[in-house]
Structure 1
Amino acid sequence: MQKTPAECATMADIRAEIDRLDRALMMLFAERWGYIERAAEIKRPLKLKADIPARVAEVRENVRRSATEFGLEPEFYDRLWSQLIDHAIAHERKLLGEDQG
């Protein structure tokens, strides 16, 4: 049964909840990745590039705003999302054939 941090009485409880959350995060990352792949499929016939700077800026601003809203460090999550974005753009470039020639 899921516990809140205050309901955890032992380190085993804490570890179980962290493991549960890590798995849930991976499921969300996998879901997000599906959208990245679909974006490349949609971009191809539209002749759109993998890297759309205005969208990258928008996503990073959204992350910073959400981090602040949840009491997290915006700079840390901006750096983390920057890596996610860079990885997604590199993958889209491969799918779109932008990394050839």
Structure 2
Amino acid sequence: MQKNPAECTTMADVRVEIDRLDRALMTLLAERWGYIDRAAEIKRPLKLKADIPARVAEVRENARRHASELGLDPDFYEGIWAQLIDHAIAHERSLLGEANQ
């Protein structure tokens, strides 16, 4: 049975909920990765590069804004998103044959 933080009375309760959320986050990241693959498929015939700086800036700003709106540290979460973006761009470059660029 899922509990909110206030309903957790033991560290075991807290750990169960953190593990549940970690799994949910991984599921969402896996879903996001599917869109990264699809982006590369769409970019190929359009001859678009993996790295589109305006979009990178937009995604990073979205991460900052969402973090701030949720009371989270925008610098920290933008940093996490920067790593996600860098990893996605490297993957797209590989799929698009840009790996050596």
TM-score, normalised to structure 2, is 0.98
Aligned to 1:35: 35
Q: RMSD value over aligned CA atoms?
A: 0.8
Aligned to 1:18: 18
Aligned to 1:83: 83
Q: Deviations over 1:62-98 (max 9, x none)?
A: 0000000000000000110000000000000000001
Distance in 1, matches of 2:64 and 2:92, equals: 24
Distance in 1, matches of 2:15 and 2:100, equals: 45
Question: Which residues of structure 1 form unaligned runs of 5+?
Answer: none
Q: Percent identity?
A: 79
Distance in 1, matches of 2:30 and 2:85, equals: 14
Distance in 2, matches of 1:88 and 1:99, equals: 12
Distance in 2, matches of 1:62 and 1:78, equals: 9
Shift of 1:99: 1.2
Task: Supply the AA of the counterpart residue of 2:79.
Answer: R
Distance in 2, matches of 1:12 and 1:100, equals: 48
Task: Supply the AA of the counterpart residue of 1:69.
Answer: E
Whether 1:49 aligns to 2:49 is yes
Shift of 1:100: 4.0
TM-score, normalised to structure 1, is 0.98
Question: Which residues of structure 2 form unaligned runs of 5+?
Answer: none
Aligned to 2:99: 99
Shift of 1:13: 0.2
